[in-house]
Amino acid sequence: MPANTAKSVVFNTSTEFIYGTACHEAGHAVAMFVAAIEFGLDVSNVVKGIRVDITGAGYLTDFNGVRQDNCRGLVTCNDTWFDLIKRKDIVTIGEKQNHAHMLEMHTIAILAGPFAEAISQGREEPLKTENPSDFLEVEKISKRISSLNLPYSAFFRRNWTDLLRDARALVTGYWPAIEAMAPRLVAEGELSGKDALEILSAIQVKLAA
């Protein structure tokens, strides 16, 4: 899979340890699968692939469509997800509520990467200084949610503390899957979305047993 892939979600890391980077990207991918399940999307198609390149050869196209270079890891997603989170033709309160919730889930998916990286390094919380592009992306999404102008009666957006809590809970809950993906990423440099989903599915079966 080429590093410079159109419409890729790429999440920067500044860690010097490739294992931390691999956990970071695996955290994003697992969270995207969870989001797809919640919104009834084709979970087998939402993540195209995951790549770790410690040389920083990749690039991202952020929420506002701006390209940023020198990325060490990327999760490539299906265009359908981008089309949904960037919708502009939202009119009714119900549509706005659903869209806000989807943006919240996307925010949790972004935060899952820094949390997974932190946990892999024995820390409880991520550092904004290590993951500036992730937290900048979250700020952009927060502004988008605010721009929906939901009336107070329909405004159910979770606050920052809630989103951090939910991201951490997702990472710790699915840690066996993240921990299983990371060594493969370190050894092979990339995983297809199919391979990542197979790892997640196998772990879920073990957890349910």
Q: What is the pTM of this model?
A: 0.80
Q: Where are the beta strands (DSSP E) in the chain?
A: 9-10, 47-52, 58-61, 67-71, 73-77, 190-192
Q: Measure the CA dihedral 107/112/117/120, to 10°.
A: 160
Q: Please check the confidence at residue 167 and state whether its pLDDT lies above 80.
A: yes
The string of pLDDT tens digits covering residues 1-32 is 223 333 333 334 343 468 888 999 999 999 99
Average pLDDT score, the chain: 77
The string of pLDDT tens digits covering residues 170-202 is 999 999 999 999 998 888 888 888 899 999 888
Residue whose C-alpha is closest to residue 115's, from 103, 106, 133, 127: 127
The string of pLDDT tens digits covering residues 60-90 is 566 666 666 666 677 877 777 777 777 878 8
Task: Decide if 62 contacts 68 (C-beta within 8 A).
Answer: yes
Percentage of the chain lying above the pLDDT 70 cut? 76
DSSP 59: E
- pLDDT, average across residues 112-124: 92
The predicted pLDDT at position 45 comes to 78
Looking at the domain covering 9-197, what would its CATH class be?
Answer: mainly alpha
Q: Which carries the bigger pLDDT value, residue 155 or residue 4?
A: 155
